[in-house]
């Protein structure tokens, strides 16, 4: 009897074990990479806690690794139990990944839809495992179900407002990743005829190892693991890129925001105001410029900390009265400006008068009881082809004139004055 040796002195049984070992090492690449990616997302979140959507990504990639390892090592044992447990963890991972991306875009209402799709996937897995057993049906259910979840995310991303280049990249990544579940499944199953016979072989008492070997050698399984490894890395890179862009945007935003009032600073106002001026649909535009009266006296008499609280309170008042398209800012010191969209000089005058009266009525607990804070206002409607610097200069001159006219006034281009209620200002 011939000994089972291969050419070169390697036993055939040993060669088979070597091939299986190499195959298992190849299959371990996906879970290993996913765990590394999950750790990266976790570290990113630990350094940027404000990005509340990042933990979703860490959990998603960790869940994929756990589900893949569950299938690879058959933990828990038993085909039915392993199918349901790994399916549950896979589905949970996809849910977290999609929910994290949609949370980044502020799509808070997407969770019920994703949960419904997830429940449907798990329900059908159970049906085709224990009621009408069919491996091919389970393959279709999981892959098509996950494809639907990714396509849903792509549609939601496409409908998000203010999409940037990185958002368009995420849209295409999720769209193509979702479509790949459909295309890959159909094509690989068409060249994996053995999979259609595995359920029959199992019911006829075929050896479980033989069935497992046929499944792992199928083109479907090989392409599945390779495609998920590559596409998973692409998704991870796209998400990390989006997080990096978000961080840079946050730094830029902080450079355009006055930290004391939460309004735009001088730089932020100039940038946003130029964008608004360029928008023809926002014409006519008017500028409201105001300066807190005798603010130096507040700083000198009660301290700069009190002065800062007064500025923050005034900033909160401005933020409450402006509309989303308007541009409000603290330009420096005690000076505030509001560029009003689609607002004539007369409407801007009434806006400024309401704000002047509201400021006079505002309570400032950091000041002595009965103290009143007032401001002097200048209102100028933007002229055709007038640039921002000239508009600011005109409104500033009106503020100067209002100061000299007695303070706590609103002065416009045509000299209209809002006569204040008789009272003593605090500053």
**Angle, CA 230 vertex, CA 175 and CA 164 arms, to 5°:** 40
Q: 30-42: per-residue pLDDT in tens? A: 899 999 999 999 9
Q: Indicate if 18 and 126 belong to the same structural domain.
A: yes
The residues that are catalytic are: 334
Q: Indicate if 282 and 248 belong to the same structural domain.
A: no
User: How does strand 410-412 pair with strand 375-381?
Assistant: parallel
Q: Indicate if 219 and 278 belong to the same structural domain.
A: no
Structure-derived torsion over alpha carbons of residues 142, 143, 146, 147, reported in degrees to the nearest 10: -150
Q: Indicate if 168 and 282 belong to the same structural domain.
A: no
pTM for this prediction = 0.66
Domain presence at residue 345: yes
Q: Residue 7 — very low, low, confident or very high, per pLDDT cuts 50/70/90?
A: very low
Two tokens, residue 283: 């014409």
Chain-centroid distance, C-alpha 76: 36
Q: Indicate if 310 and 227 belong to the same structural domain.
A: no
The answer for residues whose C-beta is within 8 angstroms of residue 388's C-beta and 6 or more apart is 270, 273, 274, 277
Q: How many CB atoms lie within 10 A of CB 118?
A: 19
Question: Can you tell me the distance from the alpha carbon of 169 to that of 241, in angstroms, rounded to the nearest whole number?
Answer: 10
Whose CA is closest to 167, among 107, 111, 112? 107
Domain presence at residue 2: no
What is the structure's pLDDT at 211? 78
Average pLDDT over residues 195-208: 78
What is the structure's pLDDT at 266? 93
Question: Can you tell me the distance from the alpha carbon of 74 to that of 32, in angstroms, rounded to the nearest whole number?
Answer: 17
The answer for residues whose C-beta is within 8 angstroms of residue 360's C-beta and 6 or more apart is 372, 373, 374, 408, 420, 421, 423
Domain presence at residue 424: no
What is the structure's pLDDT at 110? 86
Q: Indicate if 237 and 316 belong to the same structural domain.
A: no
Q: Which helix (H) or strand (E) holds 329?
A: strand 327-332
Which residues does residue 11 pair with via DSSP β-bridges, in sequence order? 5
The answer for residues whose C-beta is within 8 angstroms of residue 162's C-beta and 6 or more apart is none
pLDDT for residue 2 is more than 70 = no
Q: Residue 162 — very low, low, confident or very high, per pLDDT cuts 50/70/90?
A: low
What is the structure's pLDDT at 425? 42
Residue 345 · residue 287 · CB < 8 Å: no
Chain-centroid distance, C-alpha 167: 9
What is the structure's pLDDT at 19? 45
Domain that holds residue 112: 12-255
Q: Indicate if 24 and 166 belong to the same structural domain.
A: yes
Q: 84-125: per-residue pLDDT in tens? A: 999 999 999 999 999 999 999 888 778 999 999 999 999 999
Domain presence at residue 427: no
Secondary structure, 3-state, 16-77: HHHHHHHHHHHHHHHHHHHHHHHHHHHHHHHHCCCCCCHHHHHHHHHHHHHHHHHHHHCCCC
């Amino acid at each position: 009897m011939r000994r089972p040796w291969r050419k070169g002195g390697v036993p055939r049984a040993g060669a088979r074990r070597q091939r299986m070992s190499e195959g298992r090492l190849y299959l371990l690449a996906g879970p290993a990479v996913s765990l590394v990616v999950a750790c990266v997302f976790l570290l990113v979140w630990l350094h940027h806690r404000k990005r509340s959507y990042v933990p979703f990504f860490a959990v998603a990639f960790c869940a994929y690794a756990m589900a893949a390892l569950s299938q690879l090592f058959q933990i828990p044992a038993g085909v039915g139990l392993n199918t349901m447990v790994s399916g549950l963890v896979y589905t949970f991972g996809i849910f977290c990944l999609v929910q994290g991306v949609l949370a980044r875009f502020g799509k808070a209402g997407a969770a019920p839809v994703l949960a419904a799709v997830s429940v449907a996937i798990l329900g059908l897995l159970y049906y085709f495992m224990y009621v009408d057993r069919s491996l091919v049906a389970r393959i279709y259910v999981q892959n098509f179900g996950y494809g639907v979840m990714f396509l849903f995310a792509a549609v939601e991303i496409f409908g998000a407002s203010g999409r940037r280049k990185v958002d368009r990249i995420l849209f295409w990544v999720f769209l193509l990743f979702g479509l790949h579940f459909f295309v890959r499944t159909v094509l690989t199953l068409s060249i994996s005829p053995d999979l259609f016979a595995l359920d029959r072989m199992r019911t006829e008492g075929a050896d479980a190892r033989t069935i497992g070997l046929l499944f792992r050698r199928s083109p479907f399984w090989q392409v599945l693991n390779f495609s998920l490894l590559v596409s998973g890395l692409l998704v991870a890179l796209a998400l990390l890129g989006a997080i990096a862009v978000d961080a840079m945007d946050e730094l830029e935003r902080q450079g355009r925001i006055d930290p004391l009032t939460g309004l735009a600073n001088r730089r932020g106002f100039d940038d946003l105001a130029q964008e608004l001026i360029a928008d023809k649909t926002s014409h006519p535009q008017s500028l409201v410029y105001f300066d807190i009266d005798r603010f130096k006296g507040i700083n000198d008499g009660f301290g700069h900390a009190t002065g800062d609280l007064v500025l923050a309170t005034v900033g909160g008042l401005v933020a409450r009265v402006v509309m989303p398209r308007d541009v409000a800012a603290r330009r420096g010191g005690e000076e505030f400006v509001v560029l009003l969209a689609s607002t004539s000089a007369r409407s801007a005058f009434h806006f400024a008068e309401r704000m002047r009266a509201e400021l006079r009525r505002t309570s400032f607990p950091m000041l002595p009881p009965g103290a009143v804070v007032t401001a002097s206002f200048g209102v100028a409607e933007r002229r055709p082809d007038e640039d921002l610097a000239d508009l600011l200069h005109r409104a500033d001159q009106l503020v100067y004139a209002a100061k000299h006219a007695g303070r706590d006034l609103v002065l416009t281009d045509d000299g209209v004055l809002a006569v204040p209620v008789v009272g003593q200002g605090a500053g």
